[in-house]
Chain A
Amino acid sequence: DGGITQSPKYLFRKEGQNVTLSCEQNLNHDAMYWYRQDPGQGLRLIYYSQIVNDFQKGDIAEGYSVSREKKESFPLTVTSAQKNPTAFYLCASSMSGVYNEQFFGPGTRLTVL
């Protein structure tokens, strides 16, 4: 089955620690995205990548980092510099082109203890 997987589903982290969220897709999509969702808020873009080995900051990139070494994978690292990391994180992918639908993964709930 083609789709997007995110792991883990729930993640707990101690304050001051970095943590990496996984996102893998087997849809052969060129573009991948990371969003953050907070209660009462829509999705906000953290980082996006249109092609392997290239990525751009979104609206709320501070405290986050990404890599895109393979077309299928776009991991997100939440660093200790992110002041309010507790949130629901969604990964998405799409074919190139603005008309194309973004397909979303099931999300990761990150809680900082």
Chain B
Amino acid sequence: AQTVTQSQPEMSVQEAETVTLSCTYDTSENNYYLFWYKQPPSRQMILVIRQEAYKQQNATENRFSVNFQKAAKSFSLKISDSQLGDTAMYFCAFRQNYGGSQGNLIFGKGTKLSVKP
């Protein structure tokens, strides 16, 4: 079964600095998708960024970028120029690409990020 591990329960960063959140996953599949979701104190889940496993190029969305290492099964999120509004729980998620459960997300336990002024 696929698993997603986020080894950092909590992290903090100073405003305007850069922080990297770690995520590793375990799968025997070759085709899959990876996502980072943000959950601010409002508890609304928001998609931050996604990566297709067949693409070697790392995805980037404004201040957010990923370091996708397929062989190592690693998918870290880098937040540049951190802002106070980035304070949230961040969840890494995996989605397989086959079978009857197509589309189901498997989530890590999350990393609580605090951005300090």
Cβ contact within 8 Å between A48 and B91: no
A42, chain B: closest CB distance, angstroms:
3
Cβ contact within 8 Å between B103 and A94: yes
Given known contacts A101-B47, A101-B50, is B103 in contact with A43 (CB within 8 Å)? no
Q: How far is the CA of A69 from the CA of B46 in the complex (A)?
A: 27
Interface size on A, residues (CB 8 A): 26
Q: How far is the CA of A100 from the CA of B9 in the complex (A)?
A: 28
B45: interface (CB < 8 Å): yes
- What residues of A have a CB within 8 angstroms of the CB of B100 in the complex? 56
Interface size on B, residues (CB 8 A): 26
Given known contacts A56-B100, A99-B52, is B109 in contact with A42 (CB within 8 Å)? yes
Chain A CB within 10 Å — which of B45, B91, B100 has the most?
B45
Residue-wise interface mask of B (1-27) relative to A, using a CB-CB cutoff of 8 A (1 in contact, 0 not) = 000100001000000000000000000
Interface residues of A (CB under 8 A from B): 31, 33, 40-45, 48, 50, 56, 58, 88, 90, 92, 94, 96-102, 104, 106-107
16 further interface pairs, Cβ-Cβ under 8 Å (given A40-B9, A96-B103, A107-B44)? A42-B110, A43-B45, A43-B91, A48-B101, A56-B100, A56-B101, A58-B104, A90-B45, A92-B45, A97-B103, A98-B95, A98-B102, A100-B103, A101-B50, A104-B44, A104-B46
